[in-house]
Amino acid sequence: MKKDSIYVVTLIGIILDQMIKFIIRGQMELFQTISVIPNFFAITYIQNRGAAWGIFQDATIFLIFISFLFFYFLLKYIQEEKDWNWIKTISFGMLLSGVIGNLFDRILYHGVTDYLDFHIFGYSFPIFNLADIFIVVGVFLLIILWMRSEINGIRCRKGKRSN
């Protein structure tokens, strides 16, 4: 798989993320909630001025800096890596689109537009967005790839079982 495919995945992710956020900001009032599945899922429009779970509230400059730093190291890795497969391509594309999507929000709106609101077994999960999902799934896929390579490295080398 070509490395350039990462940028296609990234662009698609950014467009989806920003389109949904644009619709949310245009059609809902801040803190408005629309119940989708009662007592389980709602669309609630908030502007998160922090990071995950609301940490680092109002630290926009710091969070922009961290996002640029993460973005830089992702690009550097992508440019240096030679071995690409479809899972690695999807995971890095998702990571880039998530980081860029939330970075756009921080720069343009001084906070991230969040809207996915789940209530599970009486617990109100922190409200999040599609870019957050991209980041979590991208990291999850990379962990699977890392674990798979570690396991294969221990069990099998060039088709022979090793101790």
Among 24-28, 65-69, 78-82, the least confident range:
78-82
Give the tokens for residue 35: 């119940």
| Of residues 1, 147, 152, the one with CA closest to residue 82 | 1
- Residue 56, pLDDT > 70, answer yes
pLDDT bracket for residue 14 (50, 70, 90) = very high
Q: Where are the domains of the chain?
A: 5-26+48-112+130-161
pTM for the structure as a whole = 0.87
Name the pairing type of β-strands 33-37 and 160-161.
Answer: unpaired
Q: Which helix (H) or strand (E) holds 146?
A: helix 130-155
pLDDT tens digits, one per residue of 97-109: 999 999 999 999 9
Residue 13 pLDDT more than 50?
yes
- The answer to whether residue 151 scores a pLDDT higher than 60 is no
117: β partners = 42
Percent of the chain at pLDDT exceeding 70: 91
Output the furthest CA–CA distance in the chain (Å, rounded): 62
User: Is pLDDT of 129 > 80?
Assistant: yes
- Cβ atoms within 10 Å of 127's Cβ, excluding its own: 20
Residues marked active site are found at 114, 132
pLDDT band at 152 (very low <50, low <70, confident <90, very high): low
pLDDT for res 77? 92
- Position 1 scores a pLDDT of 66
Query: Collapsing DSSP states into helix, strand and coil, what is residue 26?
Result: helix
